[in-house]
Amino acid sequence: MSTTTTNDFPATKESPLSGSAASSFDGEGKALQFSAEEERAVVRKIDWALLPGLTLLYLLSFLDRSNVGNAKLYGMLTDIGVTDASVYNTSLALYFIGYCLFEVPANLILKRFNPKVWLPTLTVVWGIVATLQGIVKDEAGFLVARTFMGIAEAGLFPGCIFVISMYYKRNERHWRVAVFFGGAALAGAFGGVLSWAIGHIHAGGLGQWAWIFIIEGIFTVLVGLTAYFWVPGYPLDAKFLNQREKDILIARLTADSDSGDKEPFSWAGVRAAFKDHLVISYALLFHAFAFPLYTLSLFLPTIIAGLGYASWQAQLLTTPPYAVAFLAILLFAWGSHVQNRRGLYVILGGAVALVGYVVLLSTHTAGARYAGIFITVVGIYPANALLLSWPSENVSPQTKRATSTAIQIFIGDFGAVTGVLIYRPSLNANFFRTPHIIAIGYTVLGMLIAAYLWIYMARENDRRAAIREQSGKQEAEVVEAGGRRLGDKHVAYVYQL
């Protein structure tokens, strides 16, 4: 039987997509025959089972973390007795500090237990905390609530990314992560409209801002409770697949990567992630791009209001840029898929964002600056969508991948901490000129790190190919000799660029 090279270890069996009828091996090494049509049907079923639900959870997560920017426009700080406007920036920083500190522990818990219980539980907990923000009475209560919001949400994003990596082949993951991350853009689009609509509520002696937290938080709790019934577990216990479909899933994953393996939790995998300079580079890449991502999402209502619009107008005007950003995410993901390149499109997204920042800094009319906002989000959001899927395609085995995903978010979100502290009131002169310049520096840094990853992995692929060729062995024999134990450090492992 012929050997076909995939994006991970070169397959030792015939590729499932090599023709109208496919032959692969299930998780127990037994030969399994299935057609390409059957495989596509299984993938479609997985798409419908995973993506809508997980995207909804992330949409709610992003909505509940960023609606504080909308609440601020409705007088939240004044109502709870805050006289120093920088307290708002402090609250954002505390959120991300709590988020960062619990990132890695949350994903280790996910690897040891089952996502179908862990992810819904996180959703219910942060929904409760989000709701309680609506009844805070003073500055201390507000800061405590924001800290616990970060802690409660910490495990959702890296957990979902890890789950996606367990169901799809390596070259399929960026598409799914892009759609999933699109929930952030949709949250921004819906958030403005929802805040505008909720702002018409005057009841219970509470401010308009309070109802934003309460209504959106209660909805999150309700969705979280239903999530216990539809969030998927690991592939081997996927209830939405029959046994034949499950066998096909395991077979295609086994032929492509480690996702079909029965790998127990391993502290060695955790240590390997922390010692891998590529894992740290992925984290620094997100750190650089998280700065513009979160400052845009959290300060966009304030930035637009600074153009001279009333609060209710600013709420509505946040919707169009996010809607366009969602479409841009899909476009970049498609281009990345066609050319089979991730780093290139991360750099391209950064370049588009730079143009947007230049427009923001060099123009003085509301219309031109609003256009600059459009251009900036069109670059930043797709770049983040692709860079967040990159480690899931290039890190193996499973425990190392779960840890690396958490490390990326852990280090990355400290870029958000820096950003929310820099976009403080004392630096908002000239339409946030100084913070925007710093955002440009962070974006350039991200582009340079993406270029480093791209170049390093390309050279490593070439080096490993030369070793395989010089060894005089067939690639399949190289894999069989070493197995998957070495993961991405194996000479037969090919990095996705």
pLDDT of residue 4: 33
| Domain CATH number, residue 203 | 1.20.1250.20
pLDDT of residue 358: 96
Half-sphere exposure of 435 (CA within 13 A, CB side): 23
pLDDT of residue 6: 36
Residue 25 domain-assigned?
A: no
- Reading the block at residue 115, the tokens are 């996502």
Residue 317 domain-assigned?
A: yes
- 19 CB neighbour count, 10 Å cutoff: 11
CA 411/CA 273 separation, integer angstroms: 13
Residue 155 domain-assigned?
A: yes
Cβ-Cβ contacts under 8 Å for 50 (sequence gap 6 or more):
163, 164, 167, 176, 232
pLDDT of residue 31: 65
- Angle (CA) 460-462-463 rounded to 5° is 60
Domain count for the chain: 1
Taking a C-beta distance cutoff of 8 angstroms, is the pair 384, 286 a contact?
yes
- Reading the block at residue 233, the tokens are 């577990």
CA 379/CA 349 separation, integer angstroms: 4
Residue 30 domain-assigned?
A: no
Residue 32 domain-assigned?
A: no
Residue 47 domain-assigned?
A: yes
CA torsion sign for 160, 162, 165, 167 is: negative
Residue 152 domain-assigned?
A: yes
- Reading the block at residue 389, the tokens are 């899927």
Q: Which run of H or E residues covers position 468? A: helix 429-471
CA 290/CA 172 separation, integer angstroms: 24
- Reading the block at residue 217, the tokens are 């938080």
CA 394/CA 396 separation, integer angstroms: 7
CA 290/CA 412 separation, integer angstroms: 6
pLDDT in tens for each of the 497 residues of the chain? 333 333 344 333 333 233 334 545 454 545 678 888 999 999 999 999 999 999 999 999 988 988 888 888 888 999 999 888 889 889 989 998 988 888 878 877 876 778 899 999 999 999 999 999 999 999 999 999 999 999 999 889 888 988 888 899 888 888 898 888 888 788 878 777 888 888 778 777 788 899 999 999 999 999 999 999 999 888 877 889 999 999 999 888 877 655 555 566 677 888 888 999 999 999 999 999 999 998 988 788 888 888 888 777 887 888 889 899 999 999 999 999 899 899 999 999 999 999 999 999 999 888 899 999 999 999 999 999 999 989 988 988 778 888 888 889 889 988 988 998 898 888 877 888 999 999 999 999 999 999 999 999 999 999 988 888 887 655 544 444 444 556 788 888 889 99
pLDDT of residue 10: 37
pLDDT of residue 372: 93
Residue 202 domain-assigned?
A: yes
The range of the structural domain enclosing residue 295 comes to 39-489
Half-sphere exposure of 1 (CA within 13 A, CB side): 14
DSSP-based helix, strand, coil % in the chain, nearest 5: 75, 0, 20
